[in-house]
Amino acid sequence: MKILVINGPNINMLGIREKNIYGAGTYEDLLDFCRNAAEELGVEVSFFQSNHEGDLVDAIQHAYKVIDGIVINPAAYTHTSVAILDALKAVSIPAVEVHISDVSKREDFRQISYVRQYCFKTITGMGFEGYKEAMKALLSEISNGAEKQ
């Protein structure tokens, strides 16, 4: 099973940005964490990060017929991007929304999520661990789907 982990703007600044909110781990640490989790779960993982909305849309489109499941933290674009939602709908790949912080306890403008309308699960406030939980959720969702066929 092939999982693509997509991260949006400023996630490359982990370890530097607002450590009180996002922790001290860097983006590289996040990738290492996900690689280890993927090995433990027996899935193949690849990564994409961009600060640009259109590049995130392109990455989702390129996943069509190549990737089985998407873990997506659209970061600030969570709260603004219809284009990312539409891209997920277009490729129709099972996806889980992840946020490192607990967005439900933050500003009003973070209470809207466009991708939530598509993603079958949302995980917030678990730090890096949320990405592993998302991979687990994809594994069970996809294997359940396969059983039903």
Q: Is 79 considered catalytic here?
A: no
Considering only 12, 50, 78, 122, the residue that binds ligand DQA (CB under 6 A) is 78
Residue 95 C-beta: closest distance to ligand DQA, Å: 14
Indicate whether 75 belongs to the interface with ligand DQA (CB under 6 A): yes
Per-residue x/- marks for ligand DQA, 83-112, CB under 6 A? ----------------xxx-x------x--
Cβ 63 to ligand DQA, closest distance in Å?
20
| Tokens describing residue 103 | 């967005």
Query: Between residues 34 and 103, which has the closer beta carbon with respect to ligand DQA?
Result: 103
- Radius of gyration of the chain from Cα atoms? 14
Check binding of 139 to ligand DQA (CB under 6 A): no
Residues 6+ apart with CB under 8 A from 48: 4, 5, 6, 7, 56, 59
Beta pairing class for 2-7 and 44-49: parallel
Contacts of residue 3, Cβ cutoff 8 Å, sequence gap at least 6: 38, 43, 44, 45, 46, 67, 68, 69, 70, 71, 135, 138
Is 118 one of the annotated active-site residues of the chain?
A: no
Under the rule (CB under 6 A), what is the footprint of ligand DQA?
A: 10, 73, 75-76, 78, 99-101, 103, 110
